[in-house]
Amino acid sequence: MPDAMVAASLSEATSGGTTQQVDVAVVGAGFAGLYLLHRLRKAGLTTVVLEEADDVGGTWYWNRYPGARCDIQTIDYSYTFDPELESAWKWSEKYATQPEILRYFGFVADRYDLRRDIRFRTRITAATWDQALERWLLTTSEGATVACRYYIMATGCLSTPKPPEIDGVKDFKGEVYFTGRWPHEEVKLAAKRVAVIGTGSSGIQSIPLIAEQAEHLTVFQRTPNFALPAHNGPAPADRVALLEGDRAGYREQARWSLAGVPWPQQTAVSWQLSDAERRERLDEAWAKGDLVYILTQLWADQAVDVDGNTLLADLIREKIREIVKDPETAAALTPHDHPFGAKRPCLDTRYYATYNRPNVTLVNLRQEPIKSITASGIKTDERTFDVDVIVFATGFDAMTGAIMAVHPITGRGGKSLSDVWANGPQTYLGLTVAGFPNLFMITGPGSPSVLSNMAVSIEQHVDWVVDRLIAMREAGFTAIEATETAQAGWARHMADCATLTLHRLANTWYTGANVPGKAQGVMPYTGGVGPYRSICNEVASGGMLGFRLTGPNVAEQCNDGEIVRLQPDVRLVLNMLAEMKLPPLESFGAQGARDFLAEFNAARPAGRPVGEVVDGTLPGTDGPLPYRLYRPATPGPHPIVVYFHGGGWVLGDQESDDPFCRDMCRRTGMIFVSVGYRHAPDHRFPTAAEDGYAATRWIAEHAADLGGKPGPVMVAGWSAGANIAAVTCQLARDRGGPQISGQLLVCPVTDCTFDRPSYNDNATGYFLTRSLMYWFWDLYCSPADRTDPRVSPLRGKLEGLPQALVVTCEFDPLRDEGVAYAEALAAAGVPVEQVNARGHFHFSFTMVDVVITGVSGRVQMAEALRRFAGLPSERRQADEGVRPGQTASPHEIASAAE
């Protein structure tokens, strides 16, 4: 509807009251709102910014408590959109104080003349989508309404303080302050008895300064937090040199990094480093005073693996004990209930040392919870503390609080956002919500936001949104809305990402756990800033995938679908391989492909330690065959699994699936014997199958000599190795042994037919291609032999085979023949379990410590093997990825770490 007609209808609807009509209304004049206004104006879109405060600054306007500073280095926590702005402003410190950051926003507002389009002291009280007008109608606290085509919430993630949830606050006769709403006038604490409740970032930053002023400070701590010394001062010379050496390059690297600050991806894994090396790394990080550094640079598994994380957390715990003199206070200050980094760690200045002061007392609320606040102070289960001042550093209703504070937000068909989000925020890309056309959220739940340098994430969102509005205008579209399919797909992808990190194992404001009654689930996007950016770009370049676009004079456009169907780490691996622009593996020739595989394997993370690794040989049909035996660290004898590596009967050897064998040996507590069977084209069909059978027979016969349990063995294999395992079971049944108690077939080759849908759907793009499979088959087996059950076990007799687990991957040409084999086994009366791994590709399970999301599949495999061996179940919850919405107890985390 044209603006003039909208004006007439509005005037009727509001009985002639004032309504400001604009293209875009932005809520919030903080980091995001200011940049939005600048860009929207430049794009020629009329814009108003509505801001509750009486000046710019957003969260930095409100959070003025003593010690308030940013905890991302300020050279990184800055606007980067205008190189002239970058050179016009110089930060005075490594981590700027709140007043300096506020001055910066004032400087930016002045430089781009932004204040003239900002309505201060204005709160939005309700927002309603008017379908007929195709406008959002906003009612405000100061009367005048706003009609806008696009409504953008730039309300910040940590801007709505949560109530203290303690009885009796109103009864207190002394002074009460909230860190998130600190007064503008000076707060005098000298000669006063002060209580601080809360030990998150706000508490940790303010406590040392309050302690210096107060006569006595009592800190009420519910949960201890990890804090690291900020070592504030001038910005570190090496980082400044890096930035100034190539400003554009530095900024670009930040945009594609994981956390929005340019640090490289760490490759060393914790178990490759000695205790001394790990300590050295921690000491270096401790001296640096950089949150992103310590969160990402110590070892590759620190943030994704409970064991790798515990090693780091233990070293930090030692540091706390070194600083705090009183052992009881030190113990109370030491966190044990969450992995390091799963809850936002803090940067501090003399925080722990403050507890050595005689005028500071720590009250451990885990031992004596607060009962109530009284007229004179705070009463716990055990004591009463009379104080003059109470400071609540109790945090925020994070991520959704500020959005839901506008209530109601009513979308298409009268849908209310609070109903849609009743079970937790649902978004597409953390930017939009299905059913709420033309509504955008900057750094909303479902985007990297608080898990990143906010400056980078804000600029990315603002640029993406404004670029889309410009493109829509050019194409004649006036409304945009996410589809339900896209939104559901994003929720799935978010959940997949959440299994990559340890955030799911902590009760934090990231998961909504700090607000009683709030729906639980990891709210920020945990897949990283760079991958997220590439996804947003792909949405745009893919014809606005997952959005419906409409306009008065153009045909509707809706390219519906899910933007990411692969597991997040599989996507990363495939993107990395695509960037390498490798020629097809089959073009290398057999030896060239073997050399490539060896080089590729040399670059992967080292496999995890096991009790013992022994190389040996066993007699095959035509001479010795090498093997590698992996023995668990636990006392034996152990059940034995005979393992066959993958490689299309052409590539690999007994060592090539080393990380997988180690991982499975650790998970199952079983001996894995990986067999070096002979390869095509030198040794064609049926050599590999016959070698596999001969090796299994010999291993079964020599189980006791190998330190294993005498009796039945199990067989396992991946890809062509799974083909050999399946064939071995058939041969063992037909040739009078050995006894096999179970078969684990991971992405098996089971048949010579290449026309099942998975062969076509996944013909290219997932590394194992159709043409590579053709090549393998040609090298191994002539067409005349291909229906022989020794290479196409699906065509053999299946009755009487050992019980099986068949694992297939969604994006694998071999998927459907694996499924067919499982179905045929079941039809033949063989107990069989079939697992189809969603979003995974052929290599997912053997790329241990690269494809982290493969863990839950390997947990299932280990369970199956234990079942085959008649052992009890041993599931590890932390390994499997607790579902979003669920959190593990400290006990479960600790037992998972064992």
Please, what sign has the CA dihedral across residues 341, 343, 349, 355?
negative
Question: 247, 76 in Cβ contact below 8 A?
Answer: no
Write the DSSP assignment of 69-93 as a string of letters.
Answer: B-SS-TTTSS--S-HHHHHH---SS
Cβ 526 to ligand NA7 shortest distance, Å? 16
* Residue 69 in contact with ligand NA7, rule: CB under 6 A: no
CA distance 297 to 248: 23
Selected range binding ligand NA7 among 164-172, 660-668, 693-701, 850-858, rule: CB under 6 A: 164-172
Cβ 511 to ligand NA7 shortest distance, Å? 11
Q: What contacts 795, CB < 8 A, 6 or more positions away?
A: 751, 787, 788, 789
In the complex with ligand NA7, the residue whose CB is nearer, 374 or 416, is 374
Question: Binding ligand NA7 by CB under 6 A: which of 198, 260, 401, 793?
Answer: 198
Question: Binding ligand NA7 by CB under 6 A: which of 144, 209, 331, 365?
Answer: 365
Cis peptide before 872 (omega within 30 of 0): no
* Residue 371 in contact with ligand NA7, rule: CB under 6 A: no
Residue 223 is given by DSSP the state S
* Residue 457 in contact with ligand NA7, rule: CB under 6 A: no
* Residue 199 in contact with ligand NA7, rule: CB under 6 A: yes
* Residue 166 in contact with ligand NA7, rule: CB under 6 A: yes
Selected range binding ligand NA7 among 389-397, 413-421, 613-621, 820-828, rule: CB under 6 A: 389-397
Residue 227 pairs in a beta bridge with: 346
* Residue 394 in contact with ligand NA7, rule: CB under 6 A: yes
Q: Which string of x and - marks every residue 482-521 that binds ligand NA7 (by CB under 6 A)?
A: ---------------------------x----x-------
Residue 638 is given by DSSP the state B
* Residue 532 in contact with ligand NA7, rule: CB under 6 A: no
Cβ 8 to ligand NA7 shortest distance, Å? 46
Selected range binding ligand NA7 among 77-85, 254-262, 390-398, 866-874, rule: CB under 6 A: 390-398
In the complex with ligand NA7, the residue whose CB is nearer, 72 or 850, is 72
Question: Binding ligand NA7 by CB under 6 A: which of 28, 33, 57, 203?
Answer: 203
* Residue 210 in contact with ligand NA7, rule: CB under 6 A: no
Angle, CA 302 vertex, CA 298 and CA 307 arms, to 5°: 130
Question: 716, 724 in Cβ contact below 8 A?
Answer: no
Question: Binding ligand NA7 by CB under 6 A: which of 393, 794, 804, 850?
Answer: 393
* Residue 222 in contact with ligand NA7, rule: CB under 6 A: yes
Q: Which string of x and - marks every residue 124-163 that binds ligand NA7 (by CB under 6 A)?
A: ----------------------------------x-----
* Residue 200 in contact with ligand NA7, rule: CB under 6 A: yes
Buried b (16+ CB within 10 A) or exposed e, 138-166: bbbeeeebbbbbbbbbbbbbbbbbbebeb
Quick one: which of 721, 843, 772 has its CA closest to 588? 772
Selected range binding ligand NA7 among 201-209, 522-530, 609-617, 693-701, rule: CB under 6 A: 201-209
CA distance 250 to 266: 18
In the complex with ligand NA7, the residue whose CB is nearer, 165 or 734, is 165
In the complex with ligand NA7, the residue whose CB is nearer, 514 or 769, is 514
Selected range binding ligand NA7 among 193-201, 379-387, 676-684, 798-806, rule: CB under 6 A: 193-201
Cis peptide before 686 (omega within 30 of 0): yes
- Consecutive H or E run containing 242: helix 237-245
Residue number, nearest CB to ligand NA7: 200
Question: Binding ligand NA7 by CB under 6 A: which of 223, 438, 567, 853?
Answer: 223
In this structure, what token pair is assigned to residue 376?
Answer: 């004179």
Cβ 163 to ligand NA7 shortest distance, Å? 9
Other CB atoms within 10 Å distance of the CB of residue 15? 6
Cβ 161 to ligand NA7 shortest distance, Å? 8
Question: Binding ligand NA7 by CB under 6 A: which of 30, 66, 308, 395?
Answer: 395
* Residue 73 in contact with ligand NA7, rule: CB under 6 A: no
CA distances from 134 to 23, 415, 605 (A): 11, 15, 54
In this structure, what token pair is assigned to residue 445?
Answer: 């739940």
Buried b (16+ CB within 10 A) or exposed e, 349-358: bbbbbbbeee
Cis peptide before 738 (omega within 30 of 0): yes
Angle, CA 450 vertex, CA 445 and CA 453 arms, to 5°: 130
* Residue 169 in contact with ligand NA7, rule: CB under 6 A: no
Give the binding site for ligand NA7 (CB under 6 A).
158, 164-166, 179, 197-203, 222-223, 344, 365, 370, 393-396, 509, 514
